[in-house]
Amino acid sequence: MEKVKCVISYDGTNFSGFQIQPKKRTVHGELEKALKKIHKGEHIRLQASGRTDTGVHAKRQTIHFDTPFDIPEENWKRAFNTLLPDDLYVREVEKVSASFHARYDVIEKEYRYYVWNEKERDVFKQNYAYQFPYQLDVNSMQQACSYLEGEHDFTTFSSAKATTKGSKVRTLYQVSCTKRGSEIEFIFRGSGFLYNMVRIIVGAMLDVGQGRRNPLDISKLLEQKDRQLLGETVPPQGLYLWNVKYSEQVLDTEVSSSI
């Protein structure tokens, strides 16, 4: 058996999220359909670095699967992209060691969230950014972002529906907010993320930007560990899984095992 790692991109607009679901179109489902065709009807199970919700996009999601086929990497890529729909694309294929795991070996994930800050609705952006018509103080939002960097318990910024058990402590290496013209870009890099965490944080940042909260409130919200203190989760279409990183040690193991 060989283990194959793929980096994929998808437009989440017409997917019911990543995770496979009965009678629904999902990223996982489309990938496994393609794998089944390549393997002449045999079901091949795949693992991903994580799941994304309905409407959420991905620039560089990572998956892996085990296969009895010994196919060159470029041929794998060509076979996938011939079979996959236009809103899902395999960018990179790499043979890796048997010990590699797309989910458990992740050391850092990066998400980005885009807000289109204009009064008039733009029909061409509505599936790719959250259209927010109110005036925002970006400097206050940037200050608020700084309080989220480092190691914290993010219970307040996690969905009450989350099934994750155990610690809700996570480390964020970068939380930033930049405005270019009418577009506001939030960047989040961290060791891991809780369910809906990025979308709840963005909602809190927009509260700060409107003057409903001050930047210092973010520290207090972290301490209080209560999701009910914050408003609704912002919509999914502004969210992108931007990148997934693995340790050099894991990558070195992959290279040496394939020589």
Long-range pairs, 161-169, Cβ under 8 A, ≥24? 161/195, 161/196, 162/194, 162/195, 162/196, 163/195, 164/194, 164/195, 168/194, 168/225
> Where do the DSSP E strands lie in 68-120?
88-96, 106-116
Residue positions counted in the chain:
259
In angstroms, what CA-CA distances link 94 with 64, 73, 105, 114, 242? 9, 6, 15, 30, 19
Neighbours of 33 (CB within 10 A): 13
The answer to whether 122 is a known catalytic residue is: no
Pairing of strands 57-67, 239-246: parallel
> Is the CA virtual torsion 39, 43, 48, 51 positive or negative?
positive
Give the pair of three-digit tokens for residue 16: 């019911």
Strands (E), 30-144: 46-48, 57-67, 88-96, 106-116, 130-131
One of 53, 87, 137, 153 is an active-site residue; which one?
A: 53
Enumerate the active-site residues. 53
